């Protein structure tokens, strides 16, 4: 079966050629490196010559008006969309453009979607169980058992995201904010090197937002975190470095104050979104 399976994998020729779970090499520079990336849909350039570097352990916020290409950028990093040109490197060893989503995920890049996507039919506990970093190929999954070690890890994360009481409930009944946390919890279970977080506080109450900010800042350092967000207040509360995207490329980069005073940014945002003001 596993032989057939390896045949079924179209992106790999021979197993031994690709050291799959090799550590990310960050000795020579950043953990994520995008260069000259361009992608267009039907002639519309969603990403236009984008250059971006994220350092190991950094917490980076990315802002930009609607249609600036934030989500598309995430799609490219996680392998969902292939760019027309450009290169994307994870550490100095992994060319992400040659990998598909599961491989990228196994390298240690986790993603939280804009719309909270948890598995609604499964319990909170099971959601975390599926996300846990372990052998995710077919046979082991079929035969997997819940060891006490696994349980402990899941319990720990349940504590962190504050959903311990709801562990046995289906994820579908969680509130919007709880789903967001569950999703962050799932990212934690993956033990990623790099976390991509898309609009984590959309539709949250003040209190929920505070808690989310805590969660994310707590993550930085151990993990590199990229947050895409509209809410300026929230960004201000967590950000160290902010990158502004506009029409598919970087418009400005710096601290929140630097960026907020950049005349180009002000111009872009004036006709645009009210949050910027």
Partner 1 sequence: MWLTRPLSERSTLLFLAVLGVVMALVVACNLWLPRGHALHVSTYTVTLLGKYLCYALLAVAVDLVWGYLGILSLGHGAFFALGGYAMGMYLMRQIGDRGVYGDPQLPDFMVFLNWDSLPWYWQGFDMAWFAFLMVLLAPGLLALVFGFLAFRSRVTGVYLSIITQALTFALMLAFFRNEMGFGGNNGLTDFKELMGFDLTAHATRLGLFIASGVALALGYVLCRAIVVSKLGRVCIAVRDAEARTRFLGYRVERYQLFVFMVSAMLAGVAGALYVPQVGIINPSEFSPLFSIEIVVWVALGGRATLFGAVIGALVVNYAKSVFTGVMPEAWLFALGALFVLVTVMLPNGIAGLLRRRRGDAEQVPTSTTTTTEAST
Partner 2 sequence: MIRILPSALHRSLSRRLTGGLALSVLALGISTTALAEDAQDPIKVGILHSLTGTMAISESTLKDTMLMLIEQQNAQGGLLGRELEPVVVDPASNWPLFAEKARELLAQEEVDVIFGNWTSVSRKSVLPVVEELNGLLFYPVQYEGEESSENVFYTGAAPNQQAIPAVDYLMNEVGVERWVLAGTDYVYPRTTNRILEAYLAANGVGDDDIMVNYTPFGHSDWQNIVSEIKQFGSAGKKTAVVSTVNGDANVPFYRELANQGVDAADIPVVAFSVGEQELSGIDTAPLVGHLAAWNYFMSVDNDANYDFIDAWYDYTGDDEAVTNDPMEAHYIGFNMWLEAVRKAGTTDVDEVKDAIIGVSVPNLTGGYATMMPNHHITKPVLIGEIQDNGQFSVVWETPSTVAGDAWSDFLQGSRDLISDWRAPMRCGNYNVVEGSCGAGAAETVASE
Partner 3 sequence: MGMFSAGRGLVGLVLAGLLWLSAGSALGASEASSAPDPGRGLLTELAEADYNGKKAVIDTIVASGDERSRRWLESLADGKLQRLKDSGDFVIVLRNRGREWPVVDALTFEDAGEVSRRALDRIRINNALRGYLDSSLALFDLRVDDPQARLVAARDLIGEVDESSVEPIARLLAEESDSDVVTTLELALAIQRLDQGDVEAVEVLAGNLDSRARAALSQASRSDDPTLAAAASEALTSIEQVLKINRAAETLYFGLSLGSVLVLAAIGLAITFGVMGVINMAHGELIMLGAYTTWAMQQVLPGQPGLALLLSIPAGFLVAALAGVAIERSVIQFLKGRPLETLLATFGVSLILQQLVRTVISPLNRTVVTPEWMSGSLMVNDALSLTLNRLYVLGFALLVFAALMLVMRRTRLGLEVRAVTQNRAMARAMGIRATRVDILTFALGSGVAGLAGVALSQLTNVGPNLGQNYIIDSFMVVVFGGVGNLWGTLVAGLSLGVINQVLEPWAGAVLAKILVLVFIILFIQKRPRGLFPQKGRAAEG
Strand partners for 106: none
* Helix ranges, the chain (H): 2-8, 70-77, 101-107, 124-131, 138-143, 148-161, 176-189, 206-219, 232-238, 256-261, 263-270
Q: How far is the CB of 128 from partner 2 (least distance, A)?
A: 16
Binding partner of residue 41 among partner 2, partner 3, partner 1, none, CB cut-off 5 to 8 Å per kind? partner 3
Residues within window 167-186 making contact with partner 2, judged by CB under 8 A: 170, 172
Residue from 28, 60, 10, 38 nearest 223 by CA: 60
Q: Count the site residues for partner 3 by CB under 8 A.
A: 3
Residues within window 85-124 making contact with partner 2, judged by CB under 8 A: 120-123
Number of residues assigned to the chain: 277
Binding partner of residue 129 among partner 1, partner 3, partner 2, none, CB cut-off 5 to 8 Å per kind? partner 1
Residue 41 touching partner 3 (CB under 8 A): yes
Which of 172/233 has CB closer to partner 2? Answer: 172
Which of 71/127 has CB closer to partner 3? Answer: 71
Residue 43 touching partner 3 (CB under 8 A): no
In whole angstroms, give the CA distance from residue 91 to residue 89. 6
Which of 71/78 has CB closer to partner 3? Answer: 71
In whole angstroms, give the CA distance from residue 149 to residue 158. 14
User: Which one among 16, 27, 42, 168 touches partner 3, defined by CB under 8 A?
Assistant: 42
Residue 81 touching partner 2 (CB under 8 A): no
Cα-only R_g, the chain? 19
Residue 274, both tokens: 């009210």
Phi then psi dihedrals of residue 17, to 5 deg: -75, -25
User: Which one among 143, 147, 207, 263 touches partner 1, defined by CB under 8 A?
Assistant: 143
Residue 10 touching partner 3 (CB under 8 A): no
Residue 102 touching partner 1 (CB under 8 A): yes
| Crossing angle for the helix pair 176-189 and 148-161, to the nearest 10 degrees | 140
Residues that bind partner 3 (CB under 8 A): 41-42, 71
Question: Which residues bind to partner 2, rule: CB under 8 A?
Answer: 120-123, 170, 172
């Amino acid at each position: 079966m596993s032989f057939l399976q390896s045949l079924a994998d179209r992106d790999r020729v021979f197993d031994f050629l690709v050291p799959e779970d090799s550590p990310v090499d960050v000795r020579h520079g950043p953990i994520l490196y995008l260069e000259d990336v361009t992608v267009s849909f039907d002639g519309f350039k969603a990403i236009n010559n984008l250059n971006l570097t994220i350092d190991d352990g950094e917490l980076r916020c990315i802002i930009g008006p609607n249609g600036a290409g934030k989500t598309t950028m995430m799609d490219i990093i996680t392998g969902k969309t292939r760019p027309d040109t450009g290169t994307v490197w994870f550490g100095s060893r992994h060319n992400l453009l040659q990998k598909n989503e599961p491989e990228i995920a196994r390298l240690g890049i986790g993603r939280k979607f804009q719309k909270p996507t948890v598995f609604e039919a499964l319990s909170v506990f099971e959601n975390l169980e599926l996300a846990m970093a372990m052998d995710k190929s077919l046979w082991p999954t079929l035969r997997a058992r819940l060891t006490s070690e696994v349980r402990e890890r899941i319990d720990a994360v349940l504590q962190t995201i504050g959903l311990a009481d709801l562990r046995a409930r289906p994820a579908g009944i969680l509130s919007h904010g709880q789903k967001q946390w569950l999703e962050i919890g799932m990212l934690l279970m993956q033990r990623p090197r790099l976390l991509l977080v898309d609009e984590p506080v959309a539709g949250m109450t003040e209190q929920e937002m505070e808690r989310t900010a805590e969660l994310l800042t707590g993550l930085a350092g151990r993990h590199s975190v990229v947050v895409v967000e509209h809410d300026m207040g929230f960004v201000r509360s967590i950000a160290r470095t902010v990158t502004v995207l506009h029409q598919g490329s970087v418009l400005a980069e710096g601290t929140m104050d630097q960026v907020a005073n950049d005349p180009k940014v002000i111009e872009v945002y004036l006709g645009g979104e009210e949050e910027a003001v």
